[in-house]
Each structure stands twice: as C-alpha cells, then as structure tokens.
Amino acid sequence: MVPITLSIVEDLDEVREGLSSFLGSSDDFLILETFRNAEEAAAKLP
Amino acid sequence: MDINLPGMNGIDCIRQVKRKCNTIQFIMFTVYETDDKIFEALKAGASGYLLKKSNFDVIASALKELHAGGSPMSAHIARKLVNVFHQKKNSMDVLSTRENEILHLLAEGLLYKEIADQLSITTGTVSQHIHNLYEKLHVQNRTEAINKFLGRE
C-alpha cells in the first residue's frame, strides 16, 4: 500500500518530534518534512 | 498544522499554501476550541480539526480518514459546529417569509426603496417589516441583523 505523505507544522519540539516519530514508525505514513514555523512551511509546501 | 505559531499563524499559512495548491489537505492540531478559531480554520481551507489532547491512535485514524476524503474532527468540535447551525436556524425561524425575503435583500446591500420596488410594496411597508424583524432578532440596526443572519454574531 502506498503510504500517506505528511508534513507537520508545529513549533513545540516535543510535539513535533513525537508526532514525527510515532507516525513515521508506521508503514501507513511517510513524513516528508517537519516545520517549526508557518513561514517556512508556506514557502516550501506543497 | 498548529494554529499558534511564532510569526505567521497556521491559519494564514493554510490560506497561502491553498492558493498555490488547492489539492493539499490540512488538519488542524491545536489546543484552541473556540468557535471563531474553528470557523476561521475551516474557512481558510482546513479539512479536519483535532485537539492536541487526542491520543496517537486517534491522530493516525484521523489522518487516514482525511486521506480517504473525510473531515475528521474531535467529537467536541463536531458538536460545537452542530450547535452553531442549530442556533442560526432557530434565530431565523422566528421570521415570517416576507421578513426573511427582506433580510436576504438587506444582506445583499439593497436600499429600502430598492427592496420596495423588488417586492412591489411601499417603502413604509418595508420599514414596518424591518422594524418587526429587528425586534424578533433582538438587534438594533441593519448591521446587527445582517451579522446575525450570516451567523457572525
């Protein structure tokens, strides 16, 4: 099955890293990028 | 997507990215559960809304649901949306058919004379209907009536 590709935009390190770690450990998801702020996300997404 | 971020917030970020690519999907992940934040995020283009107190399994299920074309929301958020629609419907239910017509025309920006012409009634009758609908909606003026009609109160 093709994994669902995700990006995470969250400034709190523990939340961002926790989500990335949990979701990234599943074959159902592929984490493309994570962002600490909206400016960076707006520039690089999609 | 978090809402409260340093600098630009998550809702503005969604607006920007959606302008570039409308097919990308967003789910909010936030502590905010106020009506204004929920509506603002959904209007900006978010397709789902999860509270940060959601556990990992709920988050994973919500992402799969989003990918499958759904709009996953924390149960508490979904109930808030339902309540807003109920309130809006109930407040407009008190108006007569004619008062509803006139309120629609007011919301479109028509003047009393234009409303009178369109409905083939006198401006005096329009004034009386507007006076009645202000009383029924518990508002003082046209702006308040329109905001109530549009669910912005």
Minimal CA–CA distance to A40: which of B2, B27, B13?
Answer: B13
Nearest chain A Cα distance for residue B61, angstroms: 10
What's the average model confidence in pLDDT over B11-23?
Answer: 94
Interface A-B, measured as beta-carbon pairs within 8 A, has a size of: 63
Per the CB < 8 Å rule, is B60 touching A22?
yes
Quick one: pLDDT at residue B151?
A: 67
Token pair in block for residue B45: 């283009």
A29 lies in a domain? yes
Residue at A44 is within a domain = no
Q: Label residue B107 exposed, middle or buried (CB < 10 Å: 0-12, 13-18, 19+).
A: middle
Instruction: Give residue A17's domain range.
Output: 4-38
Of the pLDDT bands very low, low, confident and very high (cuts 50, 70, 90), residue B37 is: confident
CB-based contact, B52 to chain A, within 8 Å = yes
d(CA B98, CA B106): 12
For chain B, domain boundaries = 10-78, 90-149
Low-confidence ranges of chain A (pLDDT < 70): none
Q: Which fold has domain B10-78?
A: Rossmann fold (3.40.50)
What crossing angle do the helices spanning B123-137 and B97-107 adopt, rounded to 10°? 100
The CATH class, in words, for B90-149 is mainly alpha
Query: B133, B140 in Cβ contact below 8 A?
Result: no
Q: Flag if B7 and A4 touch (Cβ within 8 Å).
A: no
Any chain A CB within 8 A of the CB of B64? yes
Look at B60 and A38 and tell me if their CB atoms are within 8 Å: no
- pLDDT, tens digit, 9 for 90 and up, residues A12-21: 999 999 999 9
pLDDT of B70 above 90: yes
ipTM, two decimals? 0.93
Tell whether A8 is covered by a domain.
Answer: yes
With CA atoms as reference, the chain A residue closest to B10 would be A38
Verify whether the Cβ–Cβ distance B60 to A6 is below 8 Å: no
| A44 vs B63: CA distance, rounded Å | 21
Tell me the C-alpha distance between A30 and A14, whole Å: 19
Contacts of A6 in chain B (CB under 8 A): 63
Closest CA to A42 of B32, B39, B10: B10
Would you say B2 and B13 are in contact if contact means Cβ atoms under 8 Å apart?
no
What's the pTM? 0.67
- Mean pLDDT for all residues in chain B: 88
Q: Do B60 and A45 touch (CB under 8 A)?
A: no
Is A10 part of a structural domain of the chain? yes
Kindly state whether residue A16 falls inside one of the protein's structural domains.
Answer: yes
- Give me the number of domains chain A comprises: 1
